[in-house]
Structure 1
Amino acid sequence: MKSYLINILLGTIAVVSSCKKDEKFVYQIGDPKIELKSAISAAHFGDSLVFNVRVSDSEVALSTLKAQLYFTDDKVTETTIRTKENGDYSGKIYVPFLKDIPDGKATIKFVLQNISQKKTEQSFDIDLSRPDFPYLTLVTESKSYRMEKTGRNQYAAKENFSAEVKGYIQAPKVGEQGNAMSFGWVNNAVDFGSTAEIPFSNSTSGVYPIQFNTLTFQASPFIFVLLNGSLFGRLDDTHSKVEMVLNQGETATFEGIADLQDWWIDPDFFTRAADGVISFKGITGKYRIAADFALKYFVVEAMAGNDLAKLQEDGTGAVWIIGEGVGKPKVSSNQVGWNTDKALCLAPLGNKKYQITLKAGESINTNNINFKFFHQKGWGGEFGGTDVTTSSDLIFIGDGKNGRDSGNLGIKTGKTLEAGKTYLFTLDLTAGNKKAVLTVVSK
């Protein structure tokens, strides 16, 4: 019985194998043919290239016609047409508008396939060139500006602009098969096909050109800020940052900010001499310096390696403030509150001491505060009411029963901070993180 079953199984396998061989034998039969009926010798980048072809197969029904566009050996686009019957077919294939690709040759390939999967191909070389736009348009929320041609692929609108201009760029249709195009802001760069606003920025308001190159996608102006030769990286429309080592006492040379004299300079980290020269005041170390163009000041934060510094068990590192009634450069416009992203870094003085300089009526409220010290920029370790003591006659430490939560600072009843006077808050951790001593001195 077993022998009989095995013979049947082997016979079945032989039949299946024979069928597969027969299928391969009849595979890809027929005589598909392509005849190009329209001239396609040239096109612009960004065109929708129209083609007309006649297709036929005298033996087997047709299936599909594919039009493929190649830049060198790379297929960049493809369109497929169902070809159920012999006859004439028309279609379009898009020619991508890519940056940094000069005028040159491309190949359009037609691939016709019948239902037995037999194919025939025809290829044609075409000349591709970048469209010579007569003008571009800068589109902003309130107004559109004509960008005149100033050179090959180069355009500019020179107007009385504000220091910040947000808009995208439109290009008109060129040629019968051309398409209107747009250029907008994608991943901190200008890119094709977007209408997201480009954040142009100049050092001052006034008459200046906004420019764009349709070959390289390079645009200007954008403010480039440097500190001692190190370039700030863009964070968003109004913020950029740099991370670097700063040495105590060295000159801090800022470049790219025309109105630097109007910026607020944090007295905990910088000094500005009468002649305008700025020097770094903090202890030598690595810092993150963020430029806030809206509020016109630099946020300085201590770092440890590639991360923001945290308080260590031995009292070194950094101390941060989170809470109400305090904010730089002005509490009225930039209060920290309980938003940990705005936490203030105390300036490390060395020897496990940390300091923040606050001006009453400007960076600290005169009559109401409710903030505390933290081990990091965010929630986590913090200084509770039993971790900090002070002998100040102005400031008290909350214990949860005296009007403030544990560790939160308040102004004593009947006391106020004198408007216009500067107060130095110094936290001394030399006795340990659980035995911090806060001193508050006016000057």
Structure 2
Amino acid sequence: MVSSCKKDEKYVYQIGDPKIELKSAISAAHFGDSIIFNIRVSDSEVALSTLKAQLYFTDDKVAEVTIRTKENGDYSGKIYVPFLKDIPDGKATIKFVLQNISQKKTEQSFDIDLSRPDFPYLTLVTESKSYRMEKTGRNQYAAKENFPFSVKGYIQAPKVGEQGNSMNFGWVNNAVTLGSTLDIPFSNSTSGVYSIALNTLTYQASPFIVAYAIDGTVFSRVDDTHFKAELNMIKGNAVTVDGIEDLKDWWIDPDFFSQSADGAITFNGVNGKYRITADFALKYFVVEAMAGNDLAKLQEDGTGAVWIIGEGVGKPKVSSNQVGWNTDKALCLAPLGNKKYQITLKAAESINTDNINFKFFHQKGWGGEFGGADVTTSNDLIFIGDGKNGRDSGNLGVKTGKTLEAGKTYLFTLDLTAGNKKAVLTVVPK
């Protein structure tokens, strides 16, 4: 057997003589610029490794680029100056760090003057048209036009200076954010001539006037297509909706509202607090009973609320908004008082004619529910599942050989006067 061994080679650290020579003067730049630098690097003793350019705002490193320096010579690169909000004109530091293969370093730092770019204009970009936003003050820009009450678009800033970059301002996490082209949801109380504005220092934009209100309570924005209001409603009172210009085209839920031929709306539910969500995509109001600041739940004495989760049902149309097993879409039955709850469903529109599989729950979500032993019904259309008859316990189905008549309205009423474990379901054509 022949064996050999080799002594470990010892590596010597921190030797050599790395040197930096700045070949291009850097004294000033704009936020949002790309600073170009030219550097001569050398080491007469040890091979070089890397050159780093680092940008500091005070003590915070905000940008860094690394260049491989395989040999002595001239190198060029660029480093981006972040365009951050709320940072005024001032000084920054650019530091160059040269390192050779023995990890010996040399550094040089230079102070530079930074200023906000003075954009000549901005551009509001919408799906159908672009609008020029003129400068109205330091960092302040506005477009004054005949706008609709809702305008969605992002804002683009042009390149300023030879090393500048164009920039976009969009909407992220309910705030104006640099680098996004997601639409900013501008809104005004009315359509007409008004200004849309942006401050490029603070990112403050306007207007964000939620123009929608119900009985004087202004809706708050949930997302681009959903706005909610929470308020006390009184049975029989007229309901006033402001700001929704195409309200005549909306579906009005007959469980909670009645609408006369002239478009006047009246509240049908029992007196109480409700969350009303305006769904602008599907053009209808989601109405949900509340208890204090939370959605209502069924109480042990049979008061509160009852909810539907499951398949074959959905408002305003099951074809476009089926509840399914998504608890966020659970339907709140209208409380009638006296521990009775009702939902109005139209066959082939808000409920399937022959294939349903939903059940009643105590809350908007998983938890308490009405099992097969908790509900009875004597109607000849709908049956209650027991786990053995084609439906899970408590789930509703249409009886074999039966169908709901397309176009006909059915009232589903759950009566809890005998107790939550002795619910009685009636299904009556209207």
TM-score of the pair, normalised by structure 1:
0.72
Cα distance change of structure 1 residues 309 and 106 upon mapping to structure 2, 3 Å threshold? same
Output aligned runs, 1:40-439, within 5 Å.
40-224=26-210, 233-241=220-228, 246=232, 257=243, 259=245, 282-284=270-272, 287-303=274-290, 308-311=295-298, 314-322=301-309, 328=315, 330-331=316-317, 336=322, 338=324, 340=326, 341-349=328-336, 352-356=339-343, 358=344, 373-375=359-361, 376-377=363-364, 383=370, 387-389=374-376, 396-398=381-383, 408=396, 426-438=413-425
Is the 2:333–2:342 contact (alpha carbons within 8 Å) kept by the matching residues of 1? Answer: yes
Letter in 2 for 1:184: G
* Bigger CA radius of gyration: 1
CA deviation vs aligned residue, 1:71-98 (integer Å, no higher than 9, x gap) = 1110000111222333322211110111
Letter in 2 for 1:398: F
Is the 1:160–1:206 contact (alpha carbons within 8 Å) kept by the matching residues of 2? Answer: yes
Is the 2:217–2:231 contact (alpha carbons within 8 Å) kept by the matching residues of 1? Answer: no
Specify the alignment match of 2:3 in structure 1: none
Shift in Å at residue 143 of structure 1? Answer: 3.2
Equivalents in 1 of 2:266, 2:114: separation in Å? Answer: 54
Is the 2:313–2:358 contact (alpha carbons within 8 Å) kept by the matching residues of 1? Answer: no
Equivalents in 1 of 2:306, 2:94: separation in Å? Answer: 65
Is the 2:375–2:425 contact (alpha carbons within 8 Å) kept by the matching residues of 1? Answer: yes
List runs of 5+ in structure 1 lacking aligned partners. Answer: 1-15
Equivalents in 2 of 1:84, 1:414: separation in Å? Answer: 81
Cα distance change of structure 1 residues 327 and 223 upon mapping to structure 2, 3 Å threshold? farther
Equivalents in 2 of 1:39, 1:72: separation in Å? Answer: 21
Cα distance change of structure 1 residues 104 and 230 upon mapping to structure 2, 3 Å threshold? farther
Equivalents in 1 of 2:310, 2:68: separation in Å? Answer: 67
List runs of 5+ in structure 2 lacking aligned partners. Answer: 1-7
Equivalents in 2 of 1:85, 1:331: separation in Å? Answer: 71
Specify the alignment match of 1:10 in structure 2: none
**Larger % of helix: which?**
1
